Structure 1
Amino acid sequence: MSTETSRSVGEVVPVKFSRLSRRGIILGLSTTQLITLGIGILTLVAAFYAGGGMLIAYTAPVWALSAALTWIPVAGRPVVEWVPVVAWWGWRATGGQLLYRRRIVAPRPAGTLSLPGDMACLREYTDPETGAGMIHDPHHATLTVVCEVSHPAFVLLDPGEQERRVTSWGRVLATVCRSGRITTLQVLERTLPDSGTGLAEWWAEHGTADGSWAATTYAELIGRAGPAGERHATTISLSLDMKAAARQIRTAGGHLRGASAVLRQEMGTLTAALRAADLAPSGWLTPGKIAVILRSAYDPAIAPTLERHGELGQSLATAGPVAVTETWAGLRTDTGHHAVLWISEWPRSMVYPGFLAPVLLSTGIQRAFSLLYTPLRTDQAVRDIRKKKVEHISDAAQRRKIGQIEDASQTAEYTDVLQQEADLTSGHGLLRVTGLISISAPTIEDLDAAVSQIEQAAIQASCETRRLVGQQAAAFTAAALPLCRRV
Structure 2
Amino acid sequence: MNNTNTTSGGELVPVKFSRLARRGILLGLSLSQLVTLAIGILAFVGALYAGGGILMAYTAPIWAMSIALTWIPVAGRPMVEWLPVACWWLYRTTIGQLLYRRRVVVPRPVGTLALPGDMARLREYTDPETEAGMIHDPHASTLTVVVEVTHPAFVLLDPGEQERRVTSWGRVLATVCRSGRVATLQVLERTLPDSGTGLAEWWASHGTHDDSWASTTYAELIDRAGPAGERHATTLSLALDMRAAARQIRTAGGGIRGAAAVLRQEMATLVAALRSADLNPGGWLTAGQIAVILRSAYDPAIAATLERQGQIGQSLATAGPLAVNESWSRIRTDSAHHATLWISEWPRSMVFPGFLSPVLLSTGIQRSFSLICTPMRSDQAARDIRKKKVEHISDAAQRQRIGQIEDASQTAEYQDVLQQEADLTAGHGILRYTGLITITAPTVNELDAAVAAIEQAAIQASCETRLLVGQQAAAFTAAALPLCRKV
TM-score where L is the length of structure 1: 0.97
Q: Which whole-Å deviations, capped at 9, do the CAs of 1:389-441 have from their partners, x for residues lacking one?
A: 12211111111122111111111000000000111111111000000001111
Hey, what does 2:486 align to over in structure 1?
A: 486
1:16–1:351 contact (8 Å) kept in structure 2? yes
1:100–1:116 contact (8 Å) kept in structure 2? yes
Q: Report the CA distance shift for 1:2/1:440 in structure 2 as closer, same or farther (over 3 A).
A: closer
Amino acid at match of 2:171: R
Q: Distance in 2 between matches of 1:57 and 1:262?
A: 65
Hey, what does 2:276 align to over in structure 1?
A: 276
Hey, what does 1:384 align to over in structure 2?
A: 384
SS in 2 for 1:186: strand
Hey, what does 1:357 align to over in structure 2?
A: 357
Q: Spell out the pairing of 1:159-238 with structure 2 (5 A cutoff).
A: 159-223=159-223, 225-238=225-238
1:143–1:241 contact (8 Å) kept in structure 2? yes
Hey, what does 1:64 align to over in structure 2?
A: 64
Q: Distance in 2 between matches of 1:418 and 1:118?
A: 39
Q: Distance in 1 between matches of 2:473 and 2:271?
A: 31
SS in 2 for 1:189: strand
Q: Distance in 1 between matches of 2:440 and 2:404?
A: 46
Hey, what does 1:88 align to over in structure 2?
A: 88
Q: Report the CA distance shift for 1:233/1:461 in structure 2 as closer, same or farther (over 3 A).
A: same
Hey, what does 1:464 align to over in structure 2?
A: 464
1:199–1:226 contact (8 Å) kept in structure 2? no
Amino acid at match of 1:426: A
SS in 2 for 1:97: coil
Q: Report the CA distance shift for 1:302/1:308 in structure 2 as closer, same or farther (over 3 A).
A: same
Q: Spell out the pairing of 1:249-288 with structure 2 (5 A cutoff).
A: 249-288=249-288
2:4–2:16 contact (8 Å) kept in structure 1? no
SS in 1 for 2:17: coil
Q: Which whole-Å deviations, capped at 9, do the CAs of 1:187-244 have from their partners, x for residues lacking one?
A: 0000000000001101111111223444345435534555121100000000000000
Q: Distance in 1 between matches of 2:26 and 2:250?
A: 45
Q: Distance in 2 between matches of 1:4 and 1:320?
A: 46
1:247 equivalent to 2:262? Answer no
Q: Distance in 1 between matches of 2:155 and 2:224?
A: 29
In structure 1, runs of 5+ residues without a counterpart are none
Q: Distance in 2 between matches of 1:190 and 1:167?
A: 24
Amino acid at match of 1:189: E
1:54, distance to aligned residue in structure 2 (A): 3.3
Amino acid at match of 2:424: L
Q: Which whole-Å deviations, capped at 9, do the CAs of 1:308-355 have from their partners, x for residues lacking one?
A: 011100100000001111111111110010000000000000000010
2:296–2:303 contact (8 Å) kept in structure 1? yes
1:36–1:69 contact (8 Å) kept in structure 2? yes
Q: Which range moves more in the overlay, 292-301 or 380-389?
A: 380-389
Hey, what does 1:405 align to over in structure 2?
A: 405
Q: Report the CA distance shift for 1:138/1:4 in structure 2 as closer, same or farther (over 3 A).
A: closer
Q: Report the CA distance shift for 1:2/1:285 in structure 2 as closer, same or farther (over 3 A).
A: closer
1:285, distance to aligned residue in structure 2 (A): 0.2
Q: Distance in 2 between matches of 1:368 and 1:203?
A: 30
1:3, distance to aligned residue in structure 2 (A): 6.7
Amino acid at match of 1:12: L
Q: Distance in 2 between matches of 1:243 and 1:2?
A: 32
1:44–1:63 contact (8 Å) kept in structure 2? yes
Tell me the matched-pair count: 485
Amino acid at match of 1:448: D
TM-score where L is the length of structure 2: 0.97
Q: Distance in 2 between matches of 1:16 and 1:429?
A: 16
SS in 1 for 2:268: helix
SS in 2 for 1:139: coil
Q: Report the CA distance shift for 1:3/1:306 in structure 2 as closer, same or farther (over 3 A).
A: closer
Hey, what does 1:452 align to over in structure 2?
A: 452
SS in 1 for 2:46: helix
Identity across the alignment (%) = 80
Q: Distance in 1 between matches of 2:393 and 2:55?
A: 40
Hey, what does 1:17 align to over in structure 2?
A: 17
SS in 2 for 1:413: helix
SS in 1 for 2:227: helix
1:266, distance to aligned residue in structure 2 (A): 0.1
1:302 equivalent to 2:306? Answer no
Amino acid at match of 2:252: A
2:150–2:281 contact (8 Å) kept in structure 1? yes
Hey, what does 2:54 align to over in structure 1?
A: 54
Q: Distance in 2 between matches of 1:203 and 1:95?
A: 54
Q: Distance in 2 between matches of 1:93 and 1:2?
A: 44
1:60, distance to aligned residue in structure 2 (A): 2.1
Q: Which range moves more in the overlay, 261-270 or 212-221?
A: 212-221
Amino acid at match of 1:475: A
SS in 1 for 2:16: coil
Amino acid at match of 1:445: N
1:336 equivalent to 2:333? Answer no
Amino acid at match of 1:397: A
Q: Distance in 1 between matches of 2:6 and 2:128?
A: 52
Amino acid at match of 1:336: A
Amino acid at match of 1:87: C
1:389–1:414 contact (8 Å) kept in structure 2? yes
Amino acid at match of 1:427: G
